[in-house]
């Protein structure tokens, strides 16, 4: 069964959003690296990799369903941040936008009676719950520790201990 055109269009738009997310997290990682937060840089670099993998998951799904991938330009992400708390608040807000986008894509698949896409997108919905939870926990932690250099170093070390998964 070939992808319905509205579902294909929405999936192509989601590929672009996932690639933008990847690019955004790479820019954030670069900022952290230049500001002396190698652990945060590692965490964000891993997010960059994950978002690219998400884009490719949709990319391959479109092809598996006989559709056509149509890539669009990727906007330039913000590259300067005031502090880690604001940076990770931006991560949380971005993940919430991605969740809303995935939900809208799922609704498009429901309206098209595209059950295969709905099943595939359930993985993304579950993933977004985890992404938002992780970002929220980091924001909460950063708000608790404030701007204390020693505390920020401890948070940086904790985020740098993230294992691939």
- Where are the chain's structural domains? 5-160
Q: Which fold has domain 5-160?
A: Ferritin (1.20.1260)
Q: Please give the model's pTM, rounded to 2 decimal places.
A: 0.94
CA–CA gap between residue 1 and residue 17 (Å, rounded): 25
The 3-class secondary structure across 46-115, one letter per residue, is: HHHHHHHHHHHHHHHHHHHCCCCCCCCCCCCCCCCCCCHHHHHHHHHHHHHHHHHHHHHHHHHHHHCCCH
Q: Nearest CA to 135 among 154, 151, 159, 157?
A: 159
Q: How many CA atoms lie within 13 A of 37 on its CB side?
A: 27
Question: Can you list the residues of the chain whose pLDDT is less than 70?
Answer: 1, 163-165
* pLDDT in the model for residue 163: 66
3-state SS class at 164? coil
- For residues 104 and 100, give the distance between their C-alpha atoms in angstroms, rounded to a whole number: 6
């Amino acid at each position: 069964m070939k992808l319905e055109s509205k579902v294909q269009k929405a999936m192509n738009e989601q590929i672009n959003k996932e690639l933008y997310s990847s690019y955004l997290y790479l820019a954030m990682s670069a900022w952290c690296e230049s500001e002396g937060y190698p652990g945060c840089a590692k965490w964000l670099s891993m997010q960059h990799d994950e978002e690219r993998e998400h884009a490719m998951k949709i990319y391959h799904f479109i092809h598996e369903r006989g559709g056509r991938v149509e890539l669009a330009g990727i906007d330039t992400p913000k590259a300067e941040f005031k502090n880690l708390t604001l940076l990770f608040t931006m991560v949380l807000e971005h993940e919430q936008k991605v969740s809303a986008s995935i939900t809208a894509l799922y609704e498009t698949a429901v309206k098209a009676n595209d059950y295969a896409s709905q099943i595939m997108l359930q993985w993304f919905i579950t993933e977004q719950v985890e992404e938002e939870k992780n970002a929220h926990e980091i924001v909460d932690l950063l708000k608790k520790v404030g701007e204390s250099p020693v505390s920020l170093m401890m948070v940086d070390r904790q985020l740098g201990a993230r294992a691939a998964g």
